[in-house]
Amino acid sequence: MTRATCRDRTGQAGLAVIDLMAVAMIVSILVAIAIPAFIGFHRTAQDRAAQSEIDRVLDSERAVRLDRGEYTDAAVGLPGLDPEVLVGGSDPQAGVTLTLNSSVGTLCIERTSGSGATFAVWESAEQGTFYGRGGGLTGACPEAPPAGYSNAGW
């Protein structure tokens, strides 16, 4: 039977330096593969969380519109929102921003994820729902969907 260890002149068993270098090389390769993959998964999860928050606010706004006939910009008036979804303000990094254009009946919702990507939704009862990236809806909700927005999703 062959031994995986080598013996020095005194007869003591141990690992050779080459064995330790091989182990270090294998570990470094595994780390080099795992860290970028983890960062990619983490960014994707942050983006999905921001999109989920927008969807929850959008669902609540639709419920209000069906009940009252119009959208609301009062965060306390939105039913079924989880307490961790912050609505209001003008900073999409701090929470979901909600802007109405009451004269034409459009709704704009925007949120920046932890990865830095900004997601937005423009909705009108007549024209439908349009999804976009990059934001730009904070402050004024346009009458028509912004260029580049699609009704197929993000």
**pLDDT tens digits along 36-50:** 888 889 999 999 999
- Cβ partners under 8 Å of residue 126, min gap 6: 105
| Residue whose tokens read 């795992």 | 34
5, part of any domain: no
Please provide the average confidence, as pLDDT, over all residues in the chain: 84
Tokens 């929102």 belong to residue: 81
Q: What is the pTM of this model?
A: 0.74
Please give the structure tokens belonging to residue 148.
């580049």
- Across the beta sheet with 128-133, what order do the strands follow? 97-101, 106-112, 118-124, 128-133
Range of the domain at 60: 32-133
Question: Is residue 107 one of the residues assigned to a domain?
Answer: yes
Examine residue 16 and state whether it is found in any structural domain, yes or no: no
| Tally of domains in the chain | 1
Is the residue at 9 inside a domain? no
- 104: tokens are 């034409």
Inside any domain, residue 95: yes
Are 110 and 118 within 8 A, CB to CB? yes
Q: What pLDDT, on a 0 to 100 scale, did the predictor assign at position 1?
A: 46
pLDDT value of residue 11: 60
Q: What percent of the chain lies above the pLDDT cut of 90?
A: 38
pLDDT at 13 over 70: no
Residue type, 85: V
Q: 146 in a domain, yes or no? A: no
The pLDDT-based confidence of 10 (bands split at 50, 70, 90) is low
Is 143 contained in some domain? no
pLDDT at 106: 92
User: Considering the domain boundaries, does residue 71 fall inside one?
Assistant: yes
136 pLDDT band, cuts 50/70/90, is: confident
